[in-house]
Amino acid sequence: MAADNQSNRGGPRLGYTGDPDGPAYDMWREEFCRRVMCGDVAPLATGPVRCDVTALPLPGLMMSGAAGSPMQFVATGADRDNALAFVLATAAPMRITVGGRSVDLEPMGVGLADAAHQGADVSQLTEGRFQSLFIDRRTLLAYCPDAEDRIARPLGHNPALAAMLRQYYDLAVQHAPGLDALARSAVSQHLLDLVVLMLGTRGDKTELAKDRGLAAARLEAIKADILARLGDGSLTLAELAQRHRMSPRTIQLLFERSGATFSEFVLEQRLLRAARLLRDPRHGRGKISDIAYLAGFNDVSYFHRSFRRRFGITPLDAKMRRSEKE
C-alpha cells in the first residue's frame, strides 16, 4: 500500500499502513527519515504496520509525534540541529536507549534522548502514541545546564504538567501552521518553557518558565474547555475554576494578561458561533431564539443587542443576507 503523505489543519503528516517491506514502505521510510528525524525506523512486531507521523518545525525546535504500531526510531548521528529529544509517552510505554543506558517510560511518563548520538533509539513498545520535541542542544543547555546528565535517566513524574504539555502540544500542531512568525515563536517558547519546568531548573529561569509557558498552556487549556462547552448557557467562571483546580481570580488574571477579560472572551466566541449558525443553511428555517440558545445565550434580548453592537447588523439581517446568496 502506498504511503499516505497528507496535510491537515496541523503540520505535515507522513502516514503509512501496510507491510514493512517493498518500494512503498521504503519510500515512506526515506521520506520520514529525511524530513523528520534524520534517522531510521523499524517495526517491533510482525505483520503489517501502521505509523502516522506528525512533524511541525517551529523556531528553535521540531515537533514530531507518532501513533500506531510498536516501532523503533533510531538516530543515525546525522541530526541537523545537534538536538536533544524530549519524549512524552502519551499513550504507550516507551524505552529510550543511548549508549549503554536505557530508561523505560510508563504512559504519560517523560524522558530525554540524544538525537545526535548514533545508534540512540526511542522505542514505542505497544500500539499507541507518543510526542516528542527536538530542541537545539545549546538552547536547552542554556536553561538546564545539566540536561545532558538527564539523558536516558528517570525524570520526576508530574502528571498534571505532562497532561498540560500534551494538550498544548496538540493545540500547537492544530493551529501553529496558520500563525504568523511572531506567534509561532511564542508557541515555540511556551513549549520550551514547559519542557524546562518538567526537567527542573533553578532560580529566575524557573519563574520565567512558569510565567510564560505554564501560564500560556493553562490559558489555552481553559479556552479549549470553554469552546467545547460554549453552548452551555449555565457555564460559569466558578465552575470552570473548579474544573481546572484554580481560583476564579487566577483565571481572570490569565485572560487579562492576554488582552481580554474572561467575560469578553466568552461573549466574543458565542457571537462568532451565532454568526456561523446564521450563515449555515441547515439552520435556515430555525428561529433566531433557537440559534441564540445554541450559541449559549440565555437572554435573547441581550443576544440581539450584543450581536448588533459586534457586527453592525441584527441577527435577522445576517440570516436574510445568507438567504439572498442562495
Average pLDDT over residues 49-62: 90
* Torsion of Cα atoms, 132 then 137 then 142 then 147, to 10°: 70
Categorize the per-residue pLDDT at 297 as very low, low, confident or very high, splitting at 50, 70 and 90.
very high
What is the Cα–Cα distance from 186 to 208, expressed in whole angstroms? 14
| pLDDT 10s digits, 206-240 | 555 556 666 777 788 888 888 888 899 889 999 88
Neighbours of 107 (CB within 10 A): 16
Q: Are 92 and 124 in contact (CB under 8 A)?
A: yes
What is the Cα–Cα distance from 133 to 115, expressed in whole angstroms? 10
Go through the chain and tell me how many residues it has.
326
Categorize the per-residue pLDDT at 4 as very low, low, confident or very high, splitting at 50, 70 and 90.
very low
If one compares 278 and 1, the residue with the highest pLDDT of the two is 278
CATH 1.10.10.60 domain range(s) in the chain: 230-326
All three cell numbers of 38: 534524520
Q: pTM here?
A: 0.69
CATH 2.60.120.10 domain range(s) in the chain: 4-228
What is the separation, in whole angstroms, between the first and last Cα of the chain? 42
Please say if the pLDDT value at position 62 is more than 80: yes
What is the Cα–Cα distance from 21 to 206, expressed in whole angstroms? 47
What is the Cα–Cα distance from 163 to 167, expressed in whole angstroms? 6
What is the Cα–Cα distance from 192 to 188, expressed in whole angstroms? 6
CATH fold for domain 4-228: Jelly Rolls (2.60.120)
| pLDDT 10s digits, 98-149 | 988 999 999 999 999 998 888 899 999 999 999 999 999 998 988 888 899 9
- Chain centre to alpha carbon of residue 158: 18
230-326 maps to which CATH number?
Answer: 1.10.10.60
What is the Cα–Cα distance from 35 to 39, expressed in whole angstroms? 10
Please say if the pLDDT value at position 284 is more than 80: no
